[in-house]
């Protein structure tokens, strides 16, 4: 039986289970007996009935956008947040008169300096989103306050009673987020709405799309529910032995692929019942061996409906799921579909995605000698040089020794230049190995790494000691997080190659 036929049978079984167990109705009413909800992640369900709260706060957010436009603000720097939805908005949904958006999530001195340089090119508003990693976001906030100290430049979004809400007097405006909305599920919450309004999105149209898709994803008949059919496809692909989920989008919604990967990773667990999500270029040439282990999901628009990766996957006999949206504005509907599919997927995998080993990054102290006896450390002058060295090693590996997944955990400064260098690194490594190449900086991906047959490379900048007190604190914070990630991986038995970029 070929992969497609086997996957179709598994999809039918998954859909039948969803209907027999009334999973969708129980999710909507938050039935605590569901495996997916018997976890702290059950707090993620607030977005399911959050529309009335959004409607209540929309007039204040709209007034903020109009006032700041009259005052000459032309850009907004988003500080923190565990969702890259502001990037999706800026690249694909921004209105003609809306502000440009940029998101800063890395507490690295060079990344902060680059973001502040971008802010200085115009008149910037700073939007602080208090997420679960407030220790990091507060560092970003303090760094920006040194350059732009006035309260009038800042907007806050945080949960009632949380640390940031107690400092609401420091902001021009402060908006309250629901306590039961976490991480990537904030795309259709206040944390997603504030950047959208500032960017000139016609939010009432966006919320209408959200409301329409919410109704569709509450459909109890699983085979008629767009989120349930997507979740069943993902669960089936993993169940029949596919190890990688290739996420593809058309060029006019390109940023959606990264958001989908992080939503699946943080919401349903990185292994997704057997799958590791990864991204590939539209012109990527996968080997037959790679296709045998890969399932494909794709979202495109009427303007660019075809997807060469879907066509290649179909030709190779790999399972594929392809949705064509009428326009980029339908990204709001697509966000709801993926968020609901993520919850349903966790139930199809018996909630196991929520029960993976997760590292503890809450400690402020750096681990003592973090497992330096395991793996090796390389000093490389640049990311480009590392690509050459790793490519040569991969080509020398015997076919039978190749790992299932090559994971590059990037802890270098999140700058535009490094983004281009990492993209080039992906292409070079993908050409040198049959493994799927996953590049991430997300700590949540570590649970995927821990359960996958992976070769792991941790890239980070060589340690420095800045003279400026805040920059020193930032550098220490970044290095500590990197050491904690390394210690976690080594503690669960992985040999990790550490590449220190000294240039």
What stretch of H or E contains 432? Answer: helix 416-432
Q: Give the number of C-alpha atoms closer than 13 A to the C-alpha of residue 104, restricted to the C-beta side.
A: 29
Domains 48-207 and 376-501 in one fold: yes
Which residue bears the tokens 């495996």? 35
What is the pairing mode between strands 436-440 and 405-411? parallel
Q: pLDDT tens digits, residue range 414-431?
A: 888 888 888 888 878 877
Q: Domain 3-22+220-353: give its CATH superfamily.
A: Glucose-6-phosphate isomerase like protein; domain 1 (3.40.50.10490)
415: its two tokens: 């700058």
**pLDDT exceeds 60 at position 370:** no
Q: Tell me how crowded residue 305 is: count the other CB atoms within 10 A of its CB.
A: 11
Residue 138: partners with Cβ closer than 8 Å, 6 or more residues away: 163
d(CA 193, CA 103): 15
Q: Which fold has domain 376-501?
A: Rossmann fold (3.40.50)
Strands (E), 183-243: none
Q: pLDDT tens digits, residue range 257-275?
A: 999 988 887 766 544 566 7
What single-letter DSSP state applies at residue 125? E
Q: Which fold has domain 48-207?
A: Rossmann fold (3.40.50)
CA distances from 151 to 32, 130, 170, 171 (A): 43, 17, 5, 5
At 368, the pLDDT band (50, 70, 90 cuts) reads: very low
pTM score, two decimals? Answer: 0.89
**pLDDT exceeds 60 at position 353:** no
User: Which among 263, 246, 343 has a CA at the least distance from the CA of 299?
Assistant: 246
Q: pLDDT tens digits, residue range 13-24?
A: 999 999 999 999
Q: pLDDT tens digits, residue range 84-93?
A: 999 999 999 9
Across 342-376, b (16+ Cβ under 10 Å) vs e yields bbbbbbbbebbbbeeeebebeeeebbeebbeebbe
**Domain edges within the chain:** 3-22+220-353, 48-207, 376-501
């Amino acid at each position: 039986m070929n992969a497609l036929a086997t996957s179709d049978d598994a999809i039918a079984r998954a859909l039948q289970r969803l209907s027999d167990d009334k999973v969708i109705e129980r999710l909507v009413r938050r039935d605590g007996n569901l495996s997916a909800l018997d976890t702290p992640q059950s707090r993620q369900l607030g977005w399911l009935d959050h529309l009335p709260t959004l409607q209540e706060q929309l007039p204040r957010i709209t007034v903020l956008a109009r006032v700041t436009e009259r005052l000459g603000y032309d850009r907004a720097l988003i500080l923190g947040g565990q969702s890259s939805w502001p990037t999706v908005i800026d690249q694909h949904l921004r209105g003609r008169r809306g502000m440009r958006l940029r998101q800063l999530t890395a507490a690295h001195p060079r990344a902060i300096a680059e973001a502040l340089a971008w802010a200085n090119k115009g008149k910037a508003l700073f939007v602080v989103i208090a997420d679960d990693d407030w220790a990091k976001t507060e560092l970003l906030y303090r760094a920006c306050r040194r350059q732009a100290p006035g309260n009038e430049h800042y907007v806050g979004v945080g949960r009632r009673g949380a640390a940031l809400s107690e400092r609401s007097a420091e902001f021009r405006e402060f908006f309250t987020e629901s306590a039961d909305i976490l991480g990537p599920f904030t795309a259709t919450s206040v944390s997603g709405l504030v950047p959208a309004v500032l960017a000139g999105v016609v939010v009432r149209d966006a919320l209408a799309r959200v409301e329409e898709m919410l109704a569709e994803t509450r459909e109890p008949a699983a085979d008629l529910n767009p989120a349930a059919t997507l979740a069943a496809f993902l669960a089936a692909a993993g169940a029949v032995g596919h190890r990688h989920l290739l996420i593809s989008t058309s060029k006019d919604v390109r940023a959606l692929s990264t958001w989908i990967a992080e939503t699946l990773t943080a919401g349903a667990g990185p292994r997704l019942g057997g799958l590791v999500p990864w991204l590939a270029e539209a012109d990527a040439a996968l080997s037959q061996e790679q296709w045998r282990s890969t399932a494909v999901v794709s979202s495109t628009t009427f303007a660019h409906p075809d997807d060469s990766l879907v066509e290649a996957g179909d030709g190779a006999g790999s399972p594929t799921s392809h949705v064509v949206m009428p326009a980029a504005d339908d990204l709001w509907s697509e966000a709801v579909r993926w968020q609901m599919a993520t919850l349903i997927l966790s139930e199809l995998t018996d909630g196991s995605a929520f029960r993976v080993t997760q590292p503890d990054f809450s400690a402020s102290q750096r681990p003592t000698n973090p497992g330096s006896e395991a793996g090796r450390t390389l000093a490389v002058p640049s990311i480009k040089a590392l690509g050459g060295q790793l490519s040569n090693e991969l080509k020398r590996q015997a076919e039978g020794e190749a790992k299932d997944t090559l994971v590059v955990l990037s802890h270098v400064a999140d700058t535009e230049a490094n983004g281009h260098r990492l993209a080039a690194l992906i292409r070079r490594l993908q050409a040198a190995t049959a493994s799927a190449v996953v590049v991430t900086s997300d700590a949540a991906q570590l649970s995927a790494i821990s359960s996958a047959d992976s070769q792991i490379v941790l890239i980070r900048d060589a340690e420095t000691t800045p003279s400026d007190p805040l920059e020193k604190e930032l550098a220490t914070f970044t290095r500590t997080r990197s050491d904690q990630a390394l210690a976690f991986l080594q503690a669960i038995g992985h040999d990790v190659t550490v590449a220190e970029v000294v240039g």
